[in-house]
Amino acid sequence: MDIDDLRLFMRIAQLGSISAAARDLSLTPAGASARLAAFERRLGARLLHRTTRQATLTVDGLAFLPHAEHVLDAADAARAALGREQATPRGTLRVAAPASFARIHIVPGLPAFCVRYPDLMLDLRISDSVVDLVEGAFDVAVRYAELGDSSFIARRLAPDRRVLVASPEYLRQRGRPNTPDDLAEHACLVVGTLDLWTFLDAERKPIVRRVSPALRINDGGAVRDAACAGLGIALMATWCAADELRSGALVPVLPGFPLVSTQTLWALYPSSRELAPKVRAFIDWMVDRIGPDPYWDRGLEVFLGLAGTSAHTTSA
């Protein structure tokens, strides 16, 4: 299978036009069309519907597309490994990420990422459901998880720091809880299924409490907003509530009982694949963007019990 044929097919699929792809690859439209037709004959399948104005993927083309991408990624990685060229990230990069995290911390940085990598088309799928990277043909996933699946290679991006929060108005009306047991008398706001809250006491022993939520929403940003509106006490990741803590819209609750999380923010990609330049570019960008100490935790050291210590994390 000719790599140049695969590149032509990929570029047509990305641009939706044989003429545009031909210009991009320094071919004539007629030459690109003839080359594509010959490629389809060799494959025994029609990959693209053609009209005078556009080209769209057929059912076979949709099925073939992720496999073509992976072959091109492997070719780019092989050239880069030989050191003969610094392979330029290009093609389509399929990324899966949690919805609220992506909106707050990935999307705002994309203008700079796209300027840096103009040949890369980003297909970002945001959902709080855990997706199958292989089944969904994703190149990389950003995920908070306890790492245990050896079928993935992971790079650590950030720790998962959590804090119990409420609005000042809620606490004025309902009073402050003094211990985790007091939460039974309060309105608790829960993200998804995260109703099992684990604290540490003064002796660093765990205290586990399952709360009965007054409100359950499957979106962290929505729960944060509900807490700001005075609806109750919420367990929040600092990446989601940092701005509100800094502004005073939310304040810490039970600061003497720090929360425990066993999760970490990872960039994951299937171990069966070479690390393509486009995947490396995205992961390196995420690492640089977040920083060794997550930028969203700056100014929260007192709230998190990190005052006078370093929150430095390493990459795996």
pLDDT tens for the chain, residues 1 to 316:
788 888 899 888 888 889 888 887 888 989 999 999 999 999 999 999 988 778 899 999 889 988 888 888 777 777 666 554 456 788 888 899 999 999 999 999 999 999 999 988 899 999 887 777 767 778 899 998 876 655 778 899 999 899 999 999 999 999 999 999 999 999 999 998 999 999 999 999 999 999 999 999 999 999 999 999 999 999 999 999 999 999 999 999 999 999 988 788 999 987 655 678 889 999 999 999 999 999 999 888 777 765 444 444 333 3
In single-letter form, the type of residue at position 292 comes to: P
Nearest-CA neighbor of 70 among 279, 303, 267? Answer: 279
pLDDT at 150: 59
Structure tokens at 42: 């060799």
Give the neighbor-by-neighbor strand order of the sheet with 264-270.
120-126, 91-97, 140-145, 264-270, 152-159
pLDDT at 86: 56
pLDDT at 80: 64
Segment holding 71, helix H or strand E: helix 59-82
What are the start-end ranges of the H helices in the chain? Answer: 3-15, 18-24, 29-43, 59-82, 99-101, 110-116, 168-174, 220-228, 238-247, 277-290, 301-304
Contact predicate 179/153, CB 8 Å: no
pLDDT at 164: 96
pLDDT at 286: 96
pLDDT at 119: 87
Ordered structural domains, the chain, with CATH:
3-82 (1.10.10.10), 91-156+265-296 (3.40.190.10), 162-252 (3.40.190.10)
Burial of 217 (0-12, 13-18, 19+ CB in 10 A): middle
Rounded-to-5 percentages of helix, strand, coil across the chain? 40, 25, 35
Contact predicate 277/87, CB 8 Å: yes
Tell me if residue 309 falls in helix, strand or coil.
coil
